Amino acid sequence: MRITELLKKESIQLGITAASKDDAINQLTGLMEAGGRLNDRAGYKDGILAREAQGSTAVGDGIAIPHAKAAAVREPGLAAVTVPEGVDYEAFDGSLAHLIFMIAAPADGADVHLEALARLSALLMTPDFKDNLINASSKEEFLKIIDDAETAKYGAPEGIAASQAPTAKTPAANHPDTDGYRLLAVTACPTGIAHTYMAAENLENTAKKMGISLKAETDGSGGAQNVLTPEEIRNAEAIIVAADREIEMTRFDGKPVLQVPVADGIHKAKDLIEKAVSGQAPIYHHAGASESSSAAAGSGDGLGRKIYKHLMNGVSHMLPFVIGGGILIALAFLFDDYSIDPANFGKNTPLAAYLKTIGEEAFGMMLPVLSGYIAMSIADRPGLAVGFVSGIVAKMGMTFVNPAGGAVNAGFLGALFAGFAGGYLVVGLKKLFSKLPKSLEGIKPVLLYPVLGIFLGAVVTTFINPYMGMINDGLTNFLNGMGGASRIVLGMIVGAMMSIDMGGPFNKAAYVFGTAQLAEGNFEVMAAVMAGGMVPPIAIALCTTFFKNKFTVKECQSGVVNYIMGLSFITEGAIPFAASDPLRIIPSCAIGAAVAGGLSMFFGCTLRAPHGGLFVLPTIGNPLAYLAAVLIGAVTGALILSLLKKNLNEEERQ
């Protein structure tokens, strides 16, 4: 199937204007529907937005390739627009998108269209091809440019003599050294439609320019293509794995392997190739303690970075339980009647009791889930059960004196330790059992790892529980005993941390501390954390609204969205602004966030729901004062930012 068979004239629009990314998506889904490719436009758009939620499909350099594989698609197809003025598609390099191809793929059925989509993705990595399409004056010219480029690179379509078609270019992968390819690569993206092939094409083209032979295997939705052979792997100097999902890694055991996100294959090909040929790629050991088959894992990390990533794996899986359970518990208090029985507040009415019971069960899962997924990050699947059970042992507060539990409060810290202990115990067991005969390989994951791992993990956690309980109780008593001034300072610290890196390690540390205190019944810290996290987007929105001469027209338009982001407690809405002007944005927002966190503590505000922003305001203790704290902090940040940023003239604002 040719690219032009997927792209109908009815699905092409040249020279459009798009006010926003969502506007561009709406126009493209309309074009896709006009081409007769969809059963349900709304369902297809939901698929497009779900893919965008994983990360923008803008690939930089003025190109975006939104795509979805959904049941709403009747048959595979393409839609295309050119946007002369450009549209902000949230590209990593900040560039506006001038050329957008939208891809529709059916959820099931034949994959005959995948080769054409792979070809399009590869062609878009050629600057001349992209520029010619943007400058096309008609739909006919647009289609001809695509057809000519596809023929030049991949040969004539069926029915056309080879002598009538331009000579096909030989891919970079067809130039191996005498003993094979010097470098190998594997590329894979979550949907396996576009980025997989773009990364492979860019790696091969870049290697060719550098005089280095490289072969790239593409692990797309239609299966692996250009598969690496055992001989090629044996002879290669190094392998680059640019993928955002798991691929087969056992074949690379003992070889130097660079593991990076698929986007790096598109944007950082030269750096990756230079690193691979210079001997900087770490040796991959499939059964090792810190290596994983996850291609985005980054096997060259230091100890601190590895510990942080293991912790974040646990936290990311824990948060849905914390947020869902916490909000349901908060709603139970909202719908209950305190006067019926103050001692049973939260379960006095049937609705409240139902919500609180579900919420408590979900919230109670946070510690085992945290522990389980930390252990899984360390030891892969065999670590999951060990971490879960160790986390439950920590949650129960089991000791050797009181095996039934309840004697100590190991809490969050105990589960944290249990996850790491369980994970590294399984790693030790893997090394120990690696000496067993291969005939016993099958019983390791179903018998040896679970039985010995769970037992040893429980023993270690039981031993450490009393010490974790003492630390946890000491921290809780310290926080409860803090006076007014000290609590305000604590609120300022956690508030500022939420703004310093807006989703990075400081932000995550403050949030994890808040959720840990939430589990201990300290609801004030979580309130200060959320107040601090709401401030940066709101402060930027206020500044772009009332001090327009400090920002470009595009920034002012984007700033409005930050009102919604901030009120929803999505701190990351401020990241694009912080990335473009960190020396002014970050200090301003951090000061404003510190003010909000400190005022939240001063007013004695509490929060039982660890997320939700304005939408959980009715469940917040002292809600009006909380609103005032957030507003004062945001205004403070906006005013400081307005003083730090210089005025722009009309030309600079465009």
Q: What is the C-alpha to C-alpha distance for residues 387 and 420, in angstroms, rounded to an integer?
A: 8
On whether both 457 and 488 belong to a single domain, the answer is no
On whether both 354 and 494 belong to a single domain, the answer is no
- On whether residue 373 sits in a domain, the answer given is yes
On whether both 545 and 442 belong to a single domain, the answer is no
- On whether residue 298 sits in a domain, the answer given is no
Side-chain-facing half-sphere of 410: CA atoms under 13 Å: 31
- On whether residue 240 sits in a domain, the answer given is yes
- On whether residue 292 sits in a domain, the answer given is no
On whether both 443 and 520 belong to a single domain, the answer is no
Beta bridge partners, 13, equal: 81
Q: How far is CA 642 from CA 286, 589, 645, in A?
A: 53, 11, 5
Q: What is the C-alpha to C-alpha distance for residues 375 and 533, in angstroms, rounded to an integer?
A: 29
pLDDT at 300 over 60: no
pLDDT tens digits, residue range 95-146? Answer: 899 999 998 888 765 454 566 667 777 787 777 888 899 999 999 999 999 9
DSSP state of 13: E
On whether both 469 and 494 belong to a single domain, the answer is no
pLDDT value of residue 176? 56
pLDDT tens digits, residue range 384-442? Answer: 999 999 999 988 888 888 888 777 878 778 888 999 999 999 999 988 887 787 667 67
Q: What is the C-alpha to C-alpha distance for residues 451 and 445, in angstroms, rounded to an integer?
A: 10
pLDDT tens digits, residue range 264-285? Answer: 888 788 999 999 988 888 888 7
* Coil/strand/helix, residue 9: strand
Provide the CATH number for the domain around residue 49.
Answer: 3.40.930.10
pLDDT at 299 over 80: no
pLDDT at 538 over 90: yes
pTM of this prediction? 0.50
- On whether residue 213 sits in a domain, the answer given is yes
On whether both 158 and 193 belong to a single domain, the answer is no
Q: Are 207 and 172 in contact (CB under 8 A)?
A: yes
pLDDT at 447 over 80: yes
- On whether residue 45 sits in a domain, the answer given is yes
pLDDT value of residue 214? 94
pLDDT at 292 over 90: no
Residues with catalytic function: 67, 189
On whether both 199 and 146 belong to a single domain, the answer is no
What is the b/e burial string over 103-135, where b = at least 16 CB atoms within 10 angstroms of the residue's CB?
bbbbeeeebebbbbbbbbbbbbbeeebbebbbe
On whether both 469 and 498 belong to a single domain, the answer is no
Mean residue pLDDT of the chain comes to 82
DSSP state of 229: P
- On whether residue 7 sits in a domain, the answer given is yes
On whether both 639 and 596 belong to a single domain, the answer is yes
Range of the domain at 230: 172-277
Q: Are 646 and 620 in contact (CB under 8 A)?
A: no
Helix axes 623-644, 582-602, angle to 10 degrees: 160
Boundary-marking domain end, from 164, 190, 221: 164
pLDDT value of residue 293? 40
Run of H or E including 144: helix 139-154
On whether both 151 and 23 belong to a single domain, the answer is yes
Which residues have C-beta within 8 Å of that of residue 336, sequence separation ≥ 6? 345, 346, 347, 348, 349, 352
pLDDT value of residue 168? 35
454 — pLDDT class (breaks 50, 70, 90): very high
Boundary-marking domain end, from 444, 478, 512: 478
pLDDT value of residue 539? 94
Q: What is the C-alpha to C-alpha distance for residues 206 and 272, in angstroms, rounded to an integer?
A: 10
- Amino acid letter, 592: G
Provide the CATH number for the domain around residue 245.
Answer: 3.40.50.2300
Q: What is the C-alpha to C-alpha distance for residues 376 and 449, in angstroms, rounded to an integer?
A: 13
Q: Kindly provide the residue ranges of all beta strands, DSSP E only, lying in 20-96, ordered along the sequence.
A: 58-60, 63-64, 67-70, 77-87
Tell me the average pLDDT across 602-626: 84
Q: Are 134 and 211 in contact (CB under 8 A)?
A: no
On whether both 397 and 442 belong to a single domain, the answer is yes
- On whether residue 297 sits in a domain, the answer given is no
Residue 89 tokens, joined:
């598609």
CA angle 532, 533, 538 (to 5 degrees): 95
Highest mean pLDDT range out of 287-291, 365-369, 472-476? 365-369
516 — pLDDT class (breaks 50, 70, 90): confident
Boundary-marking domain end, from 478, 513, 544: 478
pLDDT tens digits, residue range 548-586? Answer: 888 888 888 878 888 888 888 878 678 778 767 888 888
Q: How many domains does the chain have?
A: 4
On whether both 430 and 554 belong to a single domain, the answer is no
